[in-house]
Amino acid sequence: MPLYTKCCNCGIRIPYRTKRCDKCQTEWNRQREVYRNEDIKRFRSSSAWARKSKQILKDNNYQCEMCKDKGVITVATEVHHIISLSIDFNKRLEDDNLIALCESCHDDIHRE
């Protein structure tokens, strides 16, 4: 009898000793390629990004904007680019392209 486990991303049943279903693995590979981009790597560790992400969190009172829309108050710990860096790198520090999120909502966005 074959053994199964769950995809670490979406939770569907997959063969034992695999981490992700085919769909999630494809997305994970795509994201990995994005993070290999040197400009994006340098930007994510820059002082400009550290300052901007702190400012966005502070401006939103450290509250997750998606949870707030649902009427729930959750601590925001991450800042998300609405338009991905790989799509438009020039919007990397624009306030209207950044949103304060909790870890759970940020993971949900990237799963979609």
What is the pLDDT, as a whole number, of residue 110?
84
| Strand partners for 62 | none
Quote the pLDDT of residue 1: 63
Quick: pLDDT tens for 60-92.
999 999 999 999 999 999 999 999 888 888 999
The answer to whether 78 and 102 have CB atoms below 8 angstroms apart is yes
pLDDT digit string, tens, across residues 2-40: 788 898 888 899 998 888 899 988 988 887 777 677 888
At residue 73, the pLDDT reads 95
Most confident of 15-29, 51-65, 97-111: 51-65
Is 39:51 a contact under the CB 8 Å cutoff? no
**Tokens at 5, concatenated:** 């486990």
